[in-house]
Structure 1
Amino acid sequence: MKSSSRFTANSMNWRKAEMAMGQHNLGTVISFEFFRTIKKRGFVIATLALPVILVLIFALVYASNASTKDTAAAQKSARFAFTYTDASGIIVPAAAKLAGGTVAGDPAAAIAAVKDGTSEAYFAYPADPAKESVKVYGADKGMFENDKYQAVAKELLAVSAQNQVGSPELTAALTGAVKFDSQTFKDGSVAPGVGGIIPPLLFLVVFYISMILLSNQMLNSTLEEKENRVTEMILTTLNPTTLITGKIISLFAVGLVQILVFLAPVGLAYLFFRDRLALPEVDLSSLVFEPGPMITGALLTLGGFTVFTGVLVAIGAIMPTAKEAGTVFGPLVAMMFIPFYTFSLIISNPGALIVQIFTYFPLTAPVTALLRNGFGTLNPVEATVVVVELFVVGTLILRLAVHLFRYGSIEYGRKLSIAGTFRRNELAAK
């Protein structure tokens, strides 16, 4: 009964759409597919689920960080008494006294006092701290609070050593407090560094997000009508190319809606609660948006989207059910992540054979080329070749997908034979 009612509902929807699509209006197809998708209960739940979860996580992190800061502040201001022995002669008695320490006459007695709880801590500084360990004994206060003993012992040794040196300049050099300002040059100009790597890599993030959000919908967009047995009726009034193009554009618009919904809580959290959520501060002034890598990144993203869209639509046209299409869908999505297994080679040795194969193989080219583009190892010639290849291959696959959909839309019980569709086409031409 559910299957029958579902078929009837879809048939009625498509009958209404047919009346408006009599002239093969692409805009009508896009509008119909877009609103049909976003009105589904499952889409609304799936789209809102992640933002709601993010809001709850941010709220918990906010509350936890507030509690942690209060605890850390209390611990930082808290003082404790300790005893110490100094065989090195480095420790300054005045500094130790200021920190709450007193000299112990007998190390064994000092350790025994810590054990029986009459003393909170005891530090034993060896004759040569460079070769021997500083022994720290303390009363158990819990895993996190116990760290205070070693921290105080270390700080006391550092302050005393700085006092022995007597030179702020030497102290800064020895403790690593000296700041360095480095500049590198490329083609006679200052190289952008990390600030020039991040912007092009954002296209890789966009590519992954769009494919993760849209790939399953692309696969099922043609299978849904096929499983509901309404494709014959659709194709009597609508050109397959118009239908496929409309579906792709509408799904891309749906993906943009999902991305905006997902990013909204992150953006709000960063703008208003960044300190409490301990989110890293992003200095936008350090980012360098070079025209070449940015344009290349945009073209690689669109080209990769075209290739994967064509492949997914073709799979949907060939397979009779979503269950059978899922067996191919998993390995296809895995192809987007395979290049990361050669991440170190992509960065350090882009001329390696495996990197070159991944750069030009259509299903791994988008991710590999986007990585190389971000890290500056994709030269203009390679970028041009990959971009042209992706758009040409993507267009050919989309044309093949439309051809397969024309014949596969009425194959309900078995997989479509690609070679068989071309034989039918030749017979029809004769």
Structure 2
Amino acid sequence: MARHNLGTVIGFEFSRTVRKPRFWLATLAIPVVMALVFGLVFISSMASSDSADAQSEAQISFAYTDASGLIRPETAAALGGQQATNPSEAIEAVKGGELDAYFAYPADPHREPVEVTGADRGLFDNGAYEAVAEELLVTAAQAEIGNPALAAAAAGEVSVESTIYRGREVTGGFSEAIAPLMVLVVFFVVILLLANQMLASTLEEKENRVTEMILTTVNPTTLIIGKITAVFMVGAVQLLVFLSPVIIGALLARSAAPAVELSGLHLDPWTMVVGVLLLVGGFVLFTGVLVGIGAVMPTAKDAGVIFGPLMLLMFVPFYAASLIVSDPGALLVQVFTYFPLTAPVTAMLRNAFGTLPPLGAGIVIAELFLAGILVLRVAVHLFRYGSLAYSHKLNLRTALGRGAAPTGQ
């Protein structure tokens, strides 16, 4: 009978959630918004790159004076410039629209700035003047050096390939952190989307004052376990929705270009296993805490007073993200790593950047699961005593004390 009731609760809670249009709107909105953001960022970066290239390759009419003696007339002429005999006349020509710009090169460009006078072409296009002035000076310096290798080295036009070892294994650099950081993103999305769902699931019957009717056929423990299981199932559905565009995109990319491989993405099995365990452990812990809040508080409005600061604790480690990455041994980082409510995010960040040792990872994972299970047990106990508390908060001392009777009895 208990198993039958548990299956009924799970099926009812799961179907009630996934049948709501707002559930799918919220679930589908995340990948759509992410796709739009990534698309806009890509378009913006391409536009910025094109703008930079256009500025560096811009053809403008300019005059120049050269106190350094580095600029050759033929080099300047190739870029659309001519040597000026009178700086004042050149500046007047710019003001009158006869020239686009005038460059005054100092005797020592290393210590003194190149003075650029230009006609206004718009906030962004005005950068073309500096780009051409710098290009002319760099070209002249390279011609003066004569040796192409020395010229490239002086201009910083050298490529560097690095091979970094962690022990005897070659690390993938930042590319190793991409996949574990995606696990962190998934954790945030799932928690933020399911937190309200969990609170609503535990408070809805209480606010509608139908709990007595439900508890005549279902044990309170069975009811809350069924609700928790249904939330886990809903979370699995959301994960599939979030990951499906990535999987489909990867399959389409490989079918369109079979030779293309994700060679730049390094997946370390240990790091991914630790990341997934931290995600699940953190989810169990926060689920237990939310169930406890729903059991204690009579309404969602009252629960929101505690829910807000709880969600804030998830974001606190990001304010110390630079310290977490650069100095993982700092006292604050250690506190964040092992304090249960900040441990998931901090540990996932450290895991992604390779600063979470195996022993520390094992301690945090064990802590999250043990704390999560303990909190869930306490939350189920509180739900048994607080499920009938319609108009007031549950007295924790009474509920957790020995021999306490359920509220309403």
Match of 2:177 in 1: 197
Residue number among 212, 226, 249 corresponding to 2:206 in the alignment: 226
Contact 1:85 / 1:105 at 8 angstroms: preserved in 2?
yes
Match of 1:7 in 2: none
Contact 1:24 / 1:242 at 8 angstroms: preserved in 2?
no
Report the identity percentage.
57
1:205 positional shift: 1.9
State how 1:8-407 maps to structure 2 within 5 Å: 23-50=3-30, 79-261=59-241, 284-407=262-385
Contact 2:190 / 2:238 at 8 angstroms: preserved in 1?
no
| Distance verdict in 2 for CA 1:272–1:72, change over 3 Å | farther
Match of 1:416 in 2: 394
Match of 1:8 in 2: none
SS at match of 2:103: strand
| Distance verdict in 2 for CA 1:359–1:179, change over 3 Å | same
Cα-to-partner distance string for 1:274-303 (whole Å, 9 max, x where unaligned): xxxxxxxx9832333223222222211111
1:65 positional shift: 8.4
| Distance verdict in 2 for CA 1:194–1:94, change over 3 Å | same
Match of 2:257 in 1: none
Contact 2:64 / 2:105 at 8 angstroms: preserved in 1?
yes
Cα-to-partner distance string for 1:184-220 (whole Å, 9 max, x where unaligned): 2232332333233333333222211211111111112
| Distance verdict in 2 for CA 1:108–1:263, change over 3 Å | farther
SS at match of 2:59: coil
Q: Which moved more, 1:334-343 or 1:87-96?
A: 334-343
The CA distance in 2 between the partners of 1:261 and 1:336, in whole Å, is 23
Cα-to-partner distance string for 1:242-278 (whole Å, 9 max, x where unaligned): 32222223223323434554566677789989xxxxx
1:86 positional shift: 1.4
| Distance verdict in 2 for CA 1:72–1:134, change over 3 Å | closer
| Distance verdict in 2 for CA 1:304–1:58, change over 3 Å | closer
The CA distance in 2 between the partners of 1:257 and 1:150, in whole Å, is 54
SS at match of 1:336: helix
Q: Which moved more, 1:86-95 or 1:417-426?
A: 417-426
| Distance verdict in 2 for CA 1:415–1:194, change over 3 Å | same
| Alignment TM-score, normalising by the size of structure 2 | 0.87
The CA distance in 1 between the partners of 2:226 and 2:86, in whole Å, is 86
| Distance verdict in 2 for CA 1:283–1:371, change over 3 Å | farther
The CA distance in 2 between the partners of 1:159 and 1:405, in whole Å, is 76
The CA distance in 1 between the partners of 2:53 and 2:323, in whole Å, is 45
Cα-to-partner distance string for 1:363-396 (whole Å, 9 max, x where unaligned): 1121222222222222222222222221111111
Cα-to-partner distance string for 1:388-413 (whole Å, 9 max, x where unaligned): 22111111111111111112111101
| Distance verdict in 2 for CA 1:24–1:417, change over 3 Å | farther
SS at match of 1:32: helix
Cα-to-partner distance string for 1:304-334 (whole Å, 9 max, x where unaligned): 1111100000100110000000000011111
| Distance verdict in 2 for CA 1:266–1:294, change over 3 Å | closer
Aligned residues: 400
The CA distance in 1 between the partners of 2:175 and 2:95, in whole Å, is 54
Letter of the 2:83 partner, please give it. V
The CA distance in 1 between the partners of 2:371 and 2:264, in whole Å, is 37
Contact 1:303 / 1:394 at 8 angstroms: preserved in 2?
yes
SS at match of 2:288: helix
Q: Which moved more, 1:231-240 or 1:106-115?
A: 231-240
Q: CA RMSD in A?
A: 3.1
Match of 1:5 in 2: none
1:50 positional shift: 4.8
Letter of the 1:221 partner, please give it. S
The CA distance in 1 between the partners of 2:139 and 2:242, in whole Å, is 49
SS at match of 1:286: coil
| Distance verdict in 2 for CA 1:117–1:271, change over 3 Å | farther
1:53 positional shift: 5.3
| Alignment TM-score, normalising by the size of structure 1 | 0.83
Letter of the 1:388 partner, please give it. A
1:166 positional shift: 0.5
Letter of the 1:406 partner, please give it. R
1:221 positional shift: 0.9
The CA distance in 1 between the partners of 2:31 and 2:180, in whole Å, is 26
SS at match of 1:83: strand
The CA distance in 2 between the partners of 1:66 and 1:205, in whole Å, is 25
1:73 positional shift: 8.1
| Distance verdict in 2 for CA 1:211–1:75, change over 3 Å | same
The CA distance in 2 between the partners of 1:268 and 1:143, in whole Å, is 41
Contact 2:56 / 2:135 at 8 angstroms: preserved in 1?
no
The CA distance in 2 between the partners of 1:190 and 1:58, in whole Å, is 30
